[in-house]
Structure 1
Amino acid sequence: MMSRRLGMEIAKLLSLASAVAATDLFLPLYNAPGTNGAAWASVREALVQHPDVSATIVINVNNGPGNGPPTADWIAGGQALGSLPNVNLIGYVHSVRCQRPVEEVQADVTAWADWRLQDVSINGIFVDEAPNDGNCTSYMSGLTAHIRDVADLDVVVYNPGFPATPFALEPYYDLDPTYISALETCFATETNGRDLCDGPYTVYDQGGYGTTIDSTLRDWVGVQNYQRTAILIHGYHDTNGLYTANDETLSGLLRAVVDRGIGAAVFTTNHWITPDAEPADIGTMVSLLSLANM
Structure 2
Amino acid sequence: MKYHVAAAAFAALALARTDLMVPLYVYPGNMTWTNPEWSAAVEAIQDNPDLHFYIIINPNNGPRNTSDSTGYNGGFCQVYNNTDYIPHGCNRDWTTHISAISKLSNAQTIGYVYTSYGQRPVEETKADILEWSQWDKEPTWNAGETADISIHGLWFDEVSTSSDNGSNYMELIQYANDTFNAKGSERGRYSVILNSGPVSDTAYEAQLFNMSSAVVTKETCYTSDPASLGVSWDCPEPYSPFELKSLAKGDGLPQNPDLLPQTVIIVHQFRGPPTATLQTLREQIDGVVKLGVHSTYFTSGSYHNTTILPASIGNVSSILIEANDATQWTDGCATWWIWLPLLCAYLNGHLYWMLE
Selected match of 1:92 from 112, 124, 127: 112
For residue 291 of structure 1, report the CA deviation from its aligned partner.
0.8
- In 2 relative to 1, CA 174–215 (structure 1 residues): closer, same or farther, beyond 3 Å? closer
- In 2 relative to 1, CA 290–210 (structure 1 residues): closer, same or farther, beyond 3 Å? farther
Residues paired across the two proteins, number: 272
Instruction: Please give the per-residue CA displacement for 1:82-135, whole angstroms capped at 9, x wherever unaligned.
Output: 221111101111112222221111111111121113220310111111121222
What is the match of residue 208 of structure 2? Answer: 172
Instruction: Please give the per-residue CA displacement for 1:31-51, whole angstroms capped at 9, x wherever unaligned.
Output: 111124722111011111111
Higher helix residue share: 2
**Do the aligned partners of 2:137 and 2:150 also contact (CA within 8 Å) in 1?**
no
Partner SS for 2:251 = helix
Instruction: Please give the per-residue CA displacement for 1:224-280, whole angstroms capped at 9, x wherever unaligned.
Output: 11111111111101233xxx2111111111111111101110011121121111211
After the TM superposition, which residues 152-171 of structure 1 pair with which residues of structure 2 at under 5 Å, given as runs?
152=181, 154-163=190-199, 168-171=204-207
C-alpha root-mean-square deviation of aligned residues, in Å? 2.3
CA distance in 2, matches of 1:269, 1:167: 35
For residue 165 of structure 1, report the CA deviation from its aligned partner.
5.3
- In 2 relative to 1, CA 285–262 (structure 1 residues): closer, same or farther, beyond 3 Å? same
Partner SS for 2:247 = helix
CA distance in 2, matches of 1:151, 1:276: 33
| TM-score, normalising length: structure 2 | 0.71
What is the match of residue 57 of structure 1? Answer: 55
What is the match of residue 189 of structure 1? Answer: 224
Partner SS for 1:171 = helix
**Residue 293, structure 1, aligned to residue 331, structure 2:** no
- In 2 relative to 1, CA 131–245 (structure 1 residues): closer, same or farther, beyond 3 Å? same
| TM-score, normalising length: structure 1 | 0.85
After the TM superposition, which residues 67-216 of structure 1 pair with which residues of structure 2 at under 5 Å, given as runs?
67=65, 69=88, 70-118=90-138, 119-152=148-181, 154-163=190-199, 168-175=204-211, 177-191=212-226, 192-194=229-231, 196-205=234-243, 209-213=244-248, 216=251
47-56 or 143-152: which moved more? 143-152
- Tell me the amino acid that sits aligned with residue 226 of structure 1: L
What is the match of residue 337 of structure 2? Answer: none
Instruction: Please give the per-residue CA displacement for 1:8-52, whole angstroms capped at 9, x wherever unaligned.
Output: xxxxx9xx9963721110111111111247221110111111111
What is the match of residue 265 of structure 1? Answer: 296
Structure 1: any 5+ residue segments left out of the alignment?
A: 1-12
209-218 or 151-160: which moved more? 209-218
Instruction: Please give the per-residue CA displacement for 1:113-169, whole angstroms capped at 9, x wherever unaligned.
Output: 211132203101111111212222221112111112213362111112343556652
- Tell me the amino acid that sits aligned with residue 45 of structure 1: E
- The percent identity for this pair of structures is 30
- Tell me the amino acid that sits aligned with residue 237 of structure 2: G
CA distance in 1, matches of 2:249, 2:273: 20
- Tell me the amino acid that sits aligned with residue 35 of structure 1: N
Partner SS for 2:220 = strand
Partner SS for 1:93 = strand
**Do the aligned partners of 2:55 and 2:107 also contact (CA within 8 Å) in 1?**
yes
What is the match of residue 8 of structure 1? Answer: none
195-204 or 27-36: which moved more? 195-204
CA distance in 1, matches of 2:96, 2:134: 15
